[in-house]
Amino acid sequence: MKNSNHVRAGFLLIAACSAIALVATPNAARAQDGVAASNGGAAGASSPLVIVKSNDNTNYTRFVTGFAVESKLRYNEISLGGNEEQGKKAVAALKEQKPPLILAVGSLAARLVRELLPETPMIFALVPRPEKLGLLGADNVTGVSLTIPLKQQLSTLKILAPNTKNVGVMYNPRTSRKLVEEAREVAKKEGMSIVTAKIDSPDEVADATRAFLGTIDALWMVPDQTVMNAESFKHLLKFTFKNKVPFFSVAHRLVETGALVSLSPEYGSIGGQAGKVAVRILNDKIPVKAIPVADPEGLDIAVNLTTAKRIGVECDIALEIFTFAATRGYPIKVFK
């Protein structure tokens, strides 16, 4: 498999059945603790807001770029370097600055800001499970979720693979029972049925795929750690190749290694959403408690054209994906 680059789906759809090789943007992972000048309104009366990043992950950099472009607010930016102790010192030091708003990016940043600066208004983003960190329900905390709504996931699956009637889902009941139950209801509204295979450990995956033999039109991966295990993925991939079943995964790295398609949040778009929220709070003076946590709006789509060819859906799935992305302005990663 080869690396990919980001492209915008607005390119001509004649590329849909072609192998497109793209090159990923280099990772500029550098700690930052500076001020970004504003070409718009200032944050608060005179003080800039503060962006606290958990580390210098490339996705965080894309997020901050999206935020800056959309909001045009002044901000200071610091990175915690992924280190708990370093993070505590950096966040505690903000208490003296009294920023009007903190944008916490990633779980470490969100947790430490909430623990050490509970009175400071906060927007969180790129946090997988905000409820686990006590971020939901507080009057001075809002944010943008990292989870794509089930309706959007399954309706997108149906658009990309319109003949799908039965969707296979493998999961661990201890961690994903509620998610799968909700997915059943959503799938019904989309004219599909969920066919399940339950496992308690990665060792059971190979045998559990038998429940899918001759019964599913597509395999949909849910964010269940038992299933996302490397060994589990290998068995699922083998099953989809052998039975020529489209495999919808949760991350483009899995598409790079063989899954057909992934739908994941687009970090630049989430940054833009957070920028709009910050403007409402700082410029429009909307109370934080009046702004609900938002679902992510943009999607990042990845497709593996070699896999599409291998399971016999090369032109059909490529055309559907490019058409879908082009009409919505979603970026695409293409692997071959």
Q: What is the pLDDT of residues 140-159, one digit of tens each?
A: 999 999 989 999 999 999 99
| Cα gap 248→261, rounded to integer Å | 5
Domain borders along the chain are 33-146+267-290, 150-265+299-335
Average pLDDT taken over every residue of the chain: 86
Whether 150-265+299-335 and 33-146+267-290 are alike in CATH topology: the answer is yes
The sheet carrying 49-53 orders its strands as: 33-36, 75-79, 49-53, 102-105, 122-125, 141-144
Q: Which is it for the CA torsion 238, 244, 249, 253, positive or negative?
A: positive
Other residues' Cβ atoms within 10 Å of the Cβ of residue 204: 17
> Which of 336, 313, 330 is CA-nearest to residue 18?
336
* Ramachandran area for residue 191 (φ above 0: left; ψ -120 to 50: alpha; else beta): left
pLDDT of residue 306: 93
∠ CA 12-18-21, rounded to 5°? 95
What is the full DSSP assignment across 158-191?
Answer: HHHSTT--EEEEEE-HHHHHHHHHHHHHHHHHTT
Q: Which is it for the CA torsion 125, 129, 133, 135, positive or negative?
A: positive
pLDDT tens per residue across span 219-245: 999 999 899 889 999 999 999 999 999
Q: Which CATH superfamily is domain 150-265+299-335 in?
A: Response regulator (3.40.50.2300)
pLDDT at 16 over 70: no
pLDDT of residue 37: 33
| Cα gap 116→120, rounded to integer Å | 9
pLDDT of residue 46: 66
> Measured in whole angstroms, how far is the alpha carbon of residue 328 from the centre of its chain?
17
**Residue 6's pLDDT band (boundaries 50, 70, 90)?**
very low
pLDDT of residue 320: 86
**Residue 299's pLDDT band (boundaries 50, 70, 90)?**
confident
Q: In the CATH scheme, what architecture does the domain 33-146+267-290 have? A: 3-Layer(aba) Sandwich (3.40)
Q: By the 8 A CB rule, do 124 and 110 touch?
A: yes
> Which of 254, 223, 268, 246 is CA-nearest to residue 6?
268
pLDDT at 24 over 90: no
Place of tokens 């793209």: 22
* pLDDT cut 90: percent of the chain above it: 72
pLDDT tens per residue across span 88-113: 999 999 999 999 999 999 999 999 99
pLDDT of residue 126: 96
How far lies 99's CA from each of 159, 222, 334, in Å?
A: 45, 38, 41
Q: What is the mean pLDDT of residues 38-56?
A: 71
Q: By the 8 A CB rule, do 81 and 37 touch?
A: no
pLDDT of residue 326: 87
What is the full DSSP assignment across 28-64?
Answer: -----EEEEPPSS--SSSSPPEEEEESS--HHHHHHH
Q: What is the dihedral of CA 298, 150, 332, 19, to 10 degrees?
A: -170
pLDDT of residue 218: 96
Q: What is the pTM (predicted TM-score) of this model?
A: 0.79
pLDDT at 14 over 90: no
pLDDT of residue 277: 98
Q: What is the mean pLDDT of residues 324-329?
A: 87
pLDDT at 173 over 90: yes
**Residue 206, φ and ψ in degrees, nearest 5:** -55, -45
